[in-house]
Amino acid sequence: MPFPDDVLTLLHEVAHLMRIRFDQRARAFDMTRAQWVLLIKLERQPGMTQNELAALVEVEPITVARLVDRLQARGFVERRHDANDRRVWRLHLKPEADPILKEIAVVRREMMAELLGDNLPPETVAAMEAALRLMKSNLVESGRRCPLDAAS
């Protein structure tokens, strides 16, 4: 007898399907989902360092450096020296990133419409969002109290 879908399985599967769909859409623009994520983060928080961005997206700094190199080669991002520390580079979007950011926004709206369909009432969506925020908060707090890598 197969296991019934539980919330962990469903969350994993929905997230997986979303990643696949975003990967497909990013490839249509000769980009990766990871590059899209960096552009979105920099749009929301301009001037981050590569290390700050790496921590935010939970990857190694070298991974961010390579992604930023590609974004810089396409003219979407520039590195600027920090005003207080010439050793530090701050990341900023260039105007050339605006069209792709608009496309990403369209894809995000389409994904939301696809996810929610016509059959999820706004109250359900609001409750779901609140529940997911609480779950995230619980995991963050639990991680502060008992880091997983403390045992290693």
What tens digit of pLDDT does each residue of 60-69 get? Answer: 999 999 999 9
Residue 90: strand, helix, or coil: strand
Domain extent for 98:
7-146
Q: Is residue 127 part of a domain?
A: yes
Helix, strand, or coil here: 47?
A: coil
152 in a structural domain = no
pLDDT of 35 reads 97
151 in a structural domain: no
Q: How far apart are CA 38 and CA 55, in angstroms?
A: 12
Q: Collapsing DSSP states into helix, strand and coil, what is residue 147?
A: coil
What pLDDT does 143 receive? 81
Q: Determine if the pTM surpasses 0.75.
A: yes
pLDDT in the model for residue 86: 86
pLDDT score recorded for residue 3: 60
Residue 137 lies in a domain: yes
Per the CB < 8 A criterion, the answer to whether 38 and 71 are in contact is yes
Judge whether 66 and 103 are in contact, CB under 8 Å. no
At residue 148, does pLDDT exceed 70?
no
pLDDT in tens, 7-46: 888 899 999 999 999 999 999 999 999 999 999 999 999 9
Centre a 10 Å sphere on the Cβ of residue 22 and count the other Cβ atoms it contains.
19
Mean pLDDT across the chain, nearest whole number?
91
With cut-offs at 50, 70 and 90, classify the pLDDT of residue 126.
very high
Structural domains in the chain (count): 1
Average pLDDT rounded to a whole number, residues 82-92: 91
Considering the domain boundaries, does residue 89 fall inside one? yes
Contacts of 77 (CB under 8 A, 6+ apart): 38, 39, 42, 68, 71, 91, 92, 93, 94, 97
| 2 in any annotated domain | no
> Do the domain assignments include residue 1?
no
* pLDDT for the residue 128: 92
What CATH number does the domain containing 84 carry?
1.10.10.10
